Structure 1
């Protein structure tokens, strides 16, 4: 199943009664950017053992236990894309409101505190424009839909095509089943009702258009907002404990145009507008320990629960077929609810200070994205008091695909802060984030899942590792602080307009004789190297009292 060339699923979910989402769409919501206060970003986020910054509320809330005074802060700046061309409503430079929060401290003993904190920060900024273009050498997006129809059965990753009572082509489970196949996607519907059938209504034949090249543009906008509420305790200035309850607010928008050029002046254009909204919550627990009373050296550890997301996705997708004559076009739209659970996250950190002029931090995190749990909403129940609870169950087919395509991500954060004078701080940081995607992963259009059925695009990108470089400066004047940080994030990826299929055996009917023969069909996409390189300028104003 991890083959780059034959990737159709052959197993089926016995009964699907609601909705789930596709692996690559889920992956867009997983993980977090490096963001928060300018001090936190300037040190590469390596403050999970050093603490005393409100941004640690979402990673290691024990860091709030190191506060000795009340504190409030607010942050904002600019996010700038360094590559690509502007498209549709996407801009390469965007303002961003990134953080606001504070910590309230209460003394419970001579060396003990009980602190309370709240912080909002933009956990993920989706503002990004993706551009890709390349040759296709006879393969095409519509050929993928054609091959699925020729397979003729959901159990082999395809569907059986027939007309419904409204005269539309529909993909069914098999030649005798009356249920629509879960392998029949929205993009399949568009192609089978515009391009693939011939104009002979009495005795139609089916074929595909080979493409010479493609051009693709997509603008992503939106964000995931994190709202964290925490309590943290300090025991004799040696042990620090913290607990955070987090709420996430999802707003993701993507608008894309995909154009294929066929022989002559013919071509096809798919326009897709998709939105994902919803909310989620998680819980984070952490600890920081100073093992030696006379030393400022600290060890931190923390664990974050899955984020339990309840989401809604909607799309409007249209296809225009330019064949020089009739130029048929078709539009489809859908909306549905689904759930997604992210994996557990574990972190370990070290921190050390030298006098009041040097701070050093290192953090390691691990999160296994192959364990993302795509969930099917399968109804609910009322308890004894009349309260309604919605239930869900795993989408086993899609989750199996996720385990093959995604993998565990390891993150290393390094940070240093140096004070040449008492009220001036200079900071430097670095992050390495290992790849989330397998090198041979791809979308599987033959999975029997609602994630496939509601798919309106076929493209995917296998993103590689991330390198982040940060630097910052901070100035303190009496009770006020001003911090500035710069971050540069670099990531390469391989973009594909559709999945590869090679040497799939199927039946093909000769329109003249009616004779059916066995043929081997292939459809291989040309990948394009893409980049997601971004810069961020971040400014934080703080007040201590």
Structure 2
């Protein structure tokens, strides 16, 4: 009975789906991806323009095309960092190297006057690649996921006839295993949960896959080759999958002997669509100089998403070898609004020999807004009738406070240069710096009275730090055809936490500490282009 209660206790914080700060933060922001020329120059082309990838950053860059063009891009990605290959490959089916179809698009140019053009374009590219392999392991020194649940049970008012958490959905364990209660002589439920367990250590293995695909539709043009304006309407398609295996070694009351293990196997999928609008301008302030200044703004992406999961929890008794398991699956529809984004850029060309660019962007991730979809029907007092309200949503205010604490403003700097070795061949180099999205004090707090907590099936989170990207590339163009190749290396370090319970919160201190992890990525990209 003690082990059964252990499982029930550990799962009080784990229900059936996810919609919280850390899950949603993965959907905000873009990777550096697109055409090989754009990637090879570090993406610093928002003032230089004339590349299909600028359709998704500064739409005015498409206004610089003088000939129609089409391109298609794809390549390979290799993932490194912290991972344990045996578990990730054999059990979680993790792949270190994957192929990727990254971009396809075109622009059609039409002359609108003596020295003015009106251009139309479409471009698909993967703005976010979720592929990641992650492993973490560390000692817990007595802390445990079990204690997180115990603290929540202790905080609940137990004077009621039926013991139930004040802000949680019905514990799915009650329906699938054993309800941890006894019945007294008056047929009232009395909690039999009165203990918790320490843990010796933990391991976490996770494999992520999927992408966000951007479908951009652009109209742009120029006025006398001095002022370039552009507008892009974007549709985003989310395809996210994750499989994780979390393990704790539980101890007997003497905190020395190992009692058994707890396993939490979680599979998650997030799908849905969103849309945004981007405005941009590029100006040549001096008539006889190629120096350019660009500026642009992106509205939030307004998402409607569905998250679903299958979660299995098991305990293993070292003495008997018996394994007891339970499982649950569910889904949740929700909305998510990402932050606004603002960017400025500079660009300059030196004859037909060189081009240099610099871009700065800012976005306040603390304004990320998880939203709860209201009931399907609502009452309109003016018309004295009920109406369908499936598209109505309200901000999850409790989760928003956690978002404001855990996420922060992000500064992005992109630098790039291109050097022509001869009219047909160009070399490219680039660098990106992206400041941390997560605050030093950020946490995935499972004690928030929020829908995002009620529908959580895991407790682990990572506070990723700043990102550094280094790029290079080479291009060859002859007549209407071009071929470009780029290489990108990026690295992000982070602090992994198996759970959060606050330092000294409640009756029991339960601080697991941070484990250092890293995410290293190599990308090889090729683009085939045709001008017509």
TM range (shorter): 0.7 to 0.9
* Aligned mate of 2:345, from 335, 342, 349: 349
* Structure 2 equivalent of residue 484 of structure 1: 485
Checking the alignment, whether the CA contact within 8 Å between 2:438 and 2:464 is kept in structure 1 is: yes
Local SS of the residue matching 1:172: coil
* Structure 2 equivalent of residue 226 of structure 1: 214
Map 1:324-473 to 2 at 5 A.
324=319, 327-379=323-375, 390-473=391-474
Checking the alignment, whether the CA contact within 8 Å between 1:90 and 1:127 is kept in structure 2 is: no
* Aligned mate of 2:148, from 144, 147, 154: 144
Pair 211,352 (structure 1): closer, same or farther in 2 beyond 3 Å = same
1:504 CA displacement: 3.4
Checking the alignment, whether the CA contact within 8 Å between 1:57 and 1:63 is kept in structure 2 is: yes
Q: Does 1:283 align with 2:260?
A: no
Local SS of the residue matching 1:300: strand
* Structure 1 equivalent of residue 499 of structure 2: 498
1:331 CA displacement: 1.1
Paired with 1:417 and 1:479, the residues of 2 have a C-alpha distance of 20
* Structure 2 equivalent of residue 95 of structure 1: 99
Pair 163,40 (structure 1): closer, same or farther in 2 beyond 3 Å = farther
Checking the alignment, whether the CA contact within 8 Å between 1:20 and 1:376 is kept in structure 2 is: no
Paired with 2:33 and 2:107, the residues of 1 have a C-alpha distance of 18
Paired with 1:50 and 1:276, the residues of 2 have a C-alpha distance of 36
**TM-score computed with the length of structure 2 as normaliser:** 0.88
* Structure 2 equivalent of residue 294 of structure 1: 288
Paired with 1:439 and 1:495, the residues of 2 have a C-alpha distance of 12
* Aligned mate of 1:530, from 517, 522, 529: 517
Deviations 1:470-529 (A, max 9, x none): 000000021100000000001000000000333334xxxxxxxxxxxxxx3111113210
Paired with 2:315 and 2:219, the residues of 1 have a C-alpha distance of 59
1:82 CA displacement: 2.2
Local SS of the residue matching 2:505: strand
Deviations 1:256-287 (A, max 9, x none): 11010122241100010111000000000000
* Structure 2 equivalent of residue 512 of structure 1: none
Checking the alignment, whether the CA contact within 8 Å between 1:20 and 1:375 is kept in structure 2 is: no
Pair 334,388 (structure 1): closer, same or farther in 2 beyond 3 Å = closer
1:322 CA displacement: 1.6
1:220 CA displacement: 0.2
Pair 466,192 (structure 1): closer, same or farther in 2 beyond 3 Å = farther
Pair 191,258 (structure 1): closer, same or farther in 2 beyond 3 Å = farther
Query: Bigger CA drift: 344-353 or 263-272?
Result: 263-272
Paired with 1:317 and 1:147, the residues of 2 have a C-alpha distance of 22
**TM-score computed with the length of structure 1 as normaliser:** 0.86
Checking the alignment, whether the CA contact within 8 Å between 2:236 and 2:275 is kept in structure 1 is: yes
Deviations 1:88-121 (A, max 9, x none): 1221110000000010000011110000000000
Paired with 2:359 and 2:389, the residues of 1 have a C-alpha distance of 42
* Structure 2 equivalent of residue 5 of structure 1: none
* Aligned mate of 1:172, from 165, 168, 171: 165
Aligned-residue Cα RMSD (Å) equals 2.5
Query: Bigger CA drift: 71-80 or 317-326?
Result: 317-326
Q: Does 1:272 align with 2:266?
A: yes
* Structure 2 equivalent of residue 80 of structure 1: 78
1:390 CA displacement: 1.3
Checking the alignment, whether the CA contact within 8 Å between 1:197 and 1:207 is kept in structure 2 is: no
Deviations 1:293-331 (A, max 9, x none): 100000000000000000000111111112345643221
Checking the alignment, whether the CA contact within 8 Å between 2:221 and 2:228 is kept in structure 1 is: yes
1:248 CA displacement: 0.3
1:195 CA displacement: 9.8
Paired with 1:205 and 1:402, the residues of 2 have a C-alpha distance of 33
* Aligned mate of 1:49, from 47, 51, 56: 47
1:203 CA displacement: 7.5
1:377 CA displacement: 0.5
Local SS of the residue matching 1:403: helix
Pair 56,191 (structure 1): closer, same or farther in 2 beyond 3 Å = farther
In structure 1, runs of 5+ residues without a counterpart are: 1-18, 154-159, 165-169, 174-180, 506-519
Checking the alignment, whether the CA contact within 8 Å between 1:379 and 1:390 is kept in structure 2 is: no
Paired with 1:360 and 1:28, the residues of 2 have a C-alpha distance of 31
Checking the alignment, whether the CA contact within 8 Å between 2:18 and 2:456 is kept in structure 1 is: no
Paired with 2:407 and 2:292, the residues of 1 have a C-alpha distance of 34
1:194 CA displacement: 6.7
Checking the alignment, whether the CA contact within 8 Å between 1:287 and 1:301 is kept in structure 2 is: yes
Paired with 1:203 and 1:349, the residues of 2 have a C-alpha distance of 63
Pair 163,501 (structure 1): closer, same or farther in 2 beyond 3 Å = farther
* Aligned mate of 1:317, from 296, 311, 318: 311
Local SS of the residue matching 1:498: coil
Paired with 2:530 and 2:334, the residues of 1 have a C-alpha distance of 42
In structure 2, runs of 5+ residues without a counterpart are: 1-16, 185-189, 252-257
1:380 CA displacement: 5.6
Paired with 1:191 and 1:43, the residues of 2 have a C-alpha distance of 56
Local SS of the residue matching 2:473: strand
* Structure 1 equivalent of residue 4 of structure 2: none
Paired with 1:541 and 1:163, the residues of 2 have a C-alpha distance of 70
* Structure 2 equivalent of residue 167 of structure 1: none
Paired with 2:477 and 2:52, the residues of 1 have a C-alpha distance of 17
